[in-house]
Structure 1
Amino acid sequence: MKQALIRLHIAVFLAGFTGVLGKLIHLNEGLMVWYRIMITVVTLTVMTSFTKKSQTLPAAMVWRLLGVGTLIALHWVFFFGSIKIANISIGLVCFASTGFFTALLEPLLTPKQFSWREVLLGLISLLGIWLIFQFDDRYRLGILAGIVSAILAALFSVLNKRYVHIASAQTLMRYELTGGLLILTLFMPWYLQQFPTTQIWPGLSDWIWLLVLSWLCTVLAMDLMLKALRYVSAFTQNLSLNLEPVYGIALAFVLFGESKSLGWSFYAGLLLIAVSVILQMMITIRKHRKQPTAVSSIAGG
């Protein structure tokens, strides 16, 4: 159990580290996500071929997974766009609003009942984001990109729940990211025309960080979570994932000194978001004590 918890928190830390990598890689957000997905898809294809864990799915299901995969690709584009336009802390704070949008979308797209409690907690997060929105005009476009990123992440999570039990996480991830790679490849000429860049091919340091992003923060993080889920509950996993923005913001403060450029309204907004997350954790713990634990599979995002 102890090793499982260590694996889980390493995975969450690696997920939080993606924000730092978004700042270290010099490519624009569209190209960075394209390279990330390309490396990950190739890696997963090789891994499943050697381990003979590749699964064949019906054509109709494959098309659905390809479609869902476009959402995670677009989520990453807007997430890293938010970081590059504003900074790491703002991108991660906006990502923390995913829970609010999930609370709105899940009852609309699944049989789950509407929860006013979840919506109210989400509104606290949105109030925090609104406060952050006030402190510097330069960051407003980055905040808007971060909110779009959170909406796409919520939509992906809700739709992806339908498919988590039909195949292994590696198989689902490979199909979904292939869909993301196809849609980005299709629209990349238009994207580069709208957002011109002088650097299309990664430099040496960019390749190193892209490999870290793909191999460690995507493939390894997913593998660690899967291994942890053999011994811990899905409840513990989801609770731990709330620490992802915390780890990322702490790294941004230490590595880039972002705390020096953020005003009081940022910290007030961050406090509200933290209160929302803590209340959600307390409610989840209370529910967990009343219900039996269920272990579920996950798909990488």
Structure 2
Amino acid sequence: MVSLHLAVALFGVAGLFGAWLALPPVAIVLGRTMVAALALAALALGMRESLRGDRDLAANGAVLALHWVAFFAAIQAAGVAVGLLGYASFPLWTLVLERALGERRAAARDWLVAVLVVAGLASTVPSFDWRDETVRGLAWGILSGATFACLAVRNRRLARTRTARSIALWQNAFAALCLVPVALFWPGAGVWPTVRELGLIVVLGVACTALAHTLFVASLSAVTAHTASVVAALEPVYGIALAAWLVGERPTAGMLAGCALLVAAAIVASRAALPAADPHDAAPGRMRD
């Protein structure tokens, strides 16, 4: 669980880059995925790991590209807080997907988590008027959450036969390939990043993408995709706090209420994920992630 929470904190920091970078969402994600793929490839080569990809990883890369474009579009439309809260809807989508695929039967606890997540989202928007930029931003955020749920479910299967680093490497590489033609036609395609923005993209790609993505995928070998997705609902808490501190974006009372509900959902899922005590696991020096 430690690696999962660290990954979530880094993902929360990533939301701030949507406010710091005056670039189209596609350009941000293209730079992010290219830097992350190069960093992971260099690490894999240094450790003499296999760099072979396949169709499953290519498909995940396309979903990852859509997820991050929607994520940054949400932040640029309505701010860091709204984008992060919309994204945090993915525990609900994960539950729906796992049930549809027959991977789990919903328990009462799962439905409690779903209710908490939906209530948290509903408290975020002042109205449900599509002309309101907050509503449009939340819609982008929910799309980001739905696509991330797809990744969580698929990555749990891939993690059984592949290393977390190889999954993160190829998903970022294929995401970048998918976005190259899109970036050529996206509005604002002629905008070139400044030196400062290039530096921010490198930090975003290495720390908040390569490292965070590897840690998150690695955690899926120890917990269910649903539990991982709900714990990751803590991301808005980290992101909103940092946005208030570093960007000066003050959350509304509704956003704070939404955060509280999402934290409650994460606590419910985290407690359910804790393994029962086993005397055979109490050997000195043995640690559980």
Amino acid in the other structure paired with 1:159: R
Q: How does 1:47-62 map to 2 (within 5 A)?
A: 47-56=43-52, 62=54
What count of residue pairs does the alignment treat as equivalent? Answer: 273
- Identical amino acids, percent of aligned pairs: 27
Q: Given the alignment of the two structures, is residue 207 of structure 1 paired with residue 198 of structure 2, yes or no? A: yes
Corresponding position of 1:88: 80
Structure 2, unaligned stretches of length 5 or more? 282-289
Q: TM-score, normalised by structure 2?
A: 0.82
Amino acid in the other structure paired with 1:214: G
Question: CA offsets per residue over residues 259-291 of structure 1, 9 Å max, x none?
Answer: 2xx433333333333332233333334xx3278
In 1, the alpha carbon distance for the partners of 2:101 and 2:217 equals 26
Q: TM-score, normalised by structure 1?
A: 0.79
Amino acid in the other structure paired with 2:262: I
1:104–1:119 contact (8 Å) kept in structure 2:
no
2:41–2:51 contact (8 Å) kept in structure 1:
no
Amino acid in the other structure paired with 2:59: G
Amino acid in the other structure paired with 1:105: L
Corresponding position of 2:284: none
Corresponding position of 2:60: 68
Q: Given the alignment of the two structures, is residue 143 of structure 1 paired with residue 143 of structure 2, yes or no? A: no
Corresponding position of 2:39: 43
Amino acid in the other structure paired with 2:125: F
1:23, distance to aligned residue in structure 2 (A) = 1.2
Q: Given the alignment of the two structures, is residue 121 of structure 1 paired with residue 113 of structure 2, yes or no? A: yes
Structure 1, unaligned stretches of length 5 or more? 294-301
Corresponding position of 1:298: none
Corresponding position of 2:158: 163
Q: Given the alignment of the two structures, is residue 216 of structure 1 paired with residue 207 of structure 2, yes or no? A: yes
1:104–1:114 contact (8 Å) kept in structure 2:
no
Corresponding position of 1:299: none
Q: 1:153 aligns with which of 142, 148, 153?
A: 148
Q: 1:244 aligns with which of 213, 235, 258?
A: 235
Query: Aligned pair in 2 of structure 1 residues 208, 87: CA closer, same or farther (>3 Å)?
Result: same
Amino acid in the other structure paired with 2:241: A
2:109–2:268 contact (8 Å) kept in structure 1:
no
In 2, the alpha carbon distance for the partners of 1:264 and 1:225 equals 30
2:231–2:269 contact (8 Å) kept in structure 1:
no
Q: Given the alignment of the two structures, is residue 24 of structure 1 paired with residue 20 of structure 2, yes or no? A: yes
1:37–1:214 contact (8 Å) kept in structure 2:
yes
In 2, the alpha carbon distance for the partners of 1:12 and 1:121 equals 18
Q: 2:245 aligns with which of 227, 240, 254?
A: 254
1:135–1:266 contact (8 Å) kept in structure 2:
no
In 2, the alpha carbon distance for the partners of 1:158 and 1:96 equals 15
1:15, distance to aligned residue in structure 2 (A) = 2.2
Corresponding position of 1:34: 30
In 1, the alpha carbon distance for the partners of 2:127 and 2:60 equals 35
In 2, the alpha carbon distance for the partners of 1:165 and 1:212 equals 30
In 1, the alpha carbon distance for the partners of 2:42 and 2:269 equals 39
1:22, distance to aligned residue in structure 2 (A) = 1.8
In 2, the alpha carbon distance for the partners of 1:47 and 1:182 equals 20
